[in-house]
Amino acid sequence: MKAYGWNVAEFGGPETMQWCEMPLPVPGRGQLRVRVHASGINFAETRMRAGTYSGQELPFVMGMESAGVVEAVGEGVKDFAVGDRVFGRARGSHATHVLFDALHTLPLPDSLDFVQGAAIPVGWLTAWHALVTVGRARTGERVLIEAIASSVGSAALQIAKWQGCWVAGTASRDDKCARSRASGADAAYNYKTAQLAEEIMRDTAGHGIDVGLMTIGEETAASLFDSMAYEGRIVMYGSTGGRQVCFNLNIGTRNLQLLAMSISTSARFVPETMRSFREVAVPGFANGTFKAVIDKTLPMSALVEAHAMVDSRTHYGKIVLVNDF
């Protein structure tokens, strides 16, 4: 059996991604080989391709998440068997075959197809970790989600509403703000034109934001800070606009908690986030409480087009590739 994937041998633009034959992956201890039916697109992979993602080594196969069918299991895997439908985070997912780590594998509910399954892992697990494990948002709290139209942001909106919070979001375009309001956001602000802190203080009757999900960076950091309640928690989960962020913390005037997070390095991710996601969120997808927002489905051959969509920042939710090879 042959395997193929979108390989990157040199960092650069979209042209550096080449569909290549590769060795069929052999699952080691605790791993599964999955035949990929669909894979999700993430902002971070455009950074990996460009060579600006920390720790990324060459060569590598593109992709961070997928859904498919288990083809082979390695030693020590107890919870999954050949033929199971699964989904999860797995590097190298823009391919015909990929290795999953059993600890990061979830059973795909019968009511979800592979496209829906591929749209969930990175965005929803990041938002779940941010709001449930790290931010601990509680009923009645005010949550602000930066870049609410993103894959992570559109998941965070549903999770925060499910937690019983008042939820606001930001976006760079009015159409994204309108769509987030139609999807349940209590307020949405175009951060290119809004006086964010003033409008949030008005809309929260002077209280401010209890949990802020921060991802944009320098451009909006000061207005996010100024929008926070005196006891607020800022969960810093993304560096979409760059890692160097400078803003006045006004130390001595507030009681803010600044909580930086990475689902890849967090010691709490598997025991807390994966566990609660498996027990609570996955049944929620099965019964319709949660539904991943999919902007567009493209064939696996259209990875370059998918990256152009991410660069244009027009998408709302997830772009998913369907395996057509």
Chain positions 200 to 219 lying near ligand NAP, rule: CB under 6 A, are: 215-216
Candidate residues 263, 274, 303, 306; the one interacting with ligand NAP per rule CB under 6 A: 263
> Residue 97 CB, nearest distance to ligand NAP (Å)?
23
Contacts with ligand NAP by CB under 6 A: the residue count is 28
Start-to-end CA span in the chain (Å): 13
If binding is defined by CB under 6 A, does position 239 make contact with ligand NAP?
Answer: yes
> Cα(274)–Cα(268) distance, rounded to whole angstroms?
9
> Residue 42 CB, nearest distance to ligand NAP (Å)?
4
> Residue 252 CB, nearest distance to ligand NAP (Å)?
29
> Residue 29 CB, nearest distance to ligand NAP (Å)?
25
Chain positions 75 to 114 lying near ligand NAP, rule: CB under 6 A, are: none
Candidate residues 176, 179, 233, 307; the one interacting with ligand NAP per rule CB under 6 A: 176
Chain positions 281 to 320 lying near ligand NAP, rule: CB under 6 A, are: 310, 313
Cβ proximity to ligand NAP, 34 vs 306, nearer residue: 306
> Residue 297 CB, nearest distance to ligand NAP (Å)?
15
If binding is defined by CB under 6 A, does position 123 make contact with ligand NAP?
Answer: yes
Stretch that binds ligand NAP, among 74-82, 105-113, 159-167, 170-178 (CB under 6 A): 170-178
> Residue 59 CB, nearest distance to ligand NAP (Å)?
21
> Cα(295)–Cα(318) distance, rounded to whole angstroms?
5
Chain positions 53 to 72 lying near ligand NAP, rule: CB under 6 A, are: none
Stretch that binds ligand NAP, among 21-29, 30-38, 171-179, 197-205 (CB under 6 A): 171-179
> Residue 65 CB, nearest distance to ligand NAP (Å)?
10
Q: What's the 3-state SS for the chain?
A: CCEEEEEECCCCCHHHEEEEEECCCCCCCCEEEEEEEEEECCHHHHHHHHCCCCCCCCCEECCCEEEEEEEEECCCCCCCCCCCEEEEECCCCCECEEEEEHHHEEECCCCCCHHHHHCCHHHHHHHHHHHHHHCCCCCCCEEEECCCCCHHHHHHHHHHHHCCCEEEEEECCHHHHHHHHHCCCCEEEECCCCCHHHHHHHHCCCCCEEEEEECCCHHHHHHHHHCEEEEEEEEECCCCCCCCCCCCCCCCCCCCEEEECCCCCCCCHHHHHHHHHHHHHHHHHHCCCCCCCEEEEEEHHHHHHHHHHHHHCCCCCEEEEECCC
Candidate residues 8, 99, 147, 200; the one interacting with ligand NAP per rule CB under 6 A: 147
For ligand NAP, the binding residues (CB under 6 A) are 42-44, 122-123, 126, 147, 149-152, 171-173, 176, 215-216, 237-241, 261-264, 310, 313
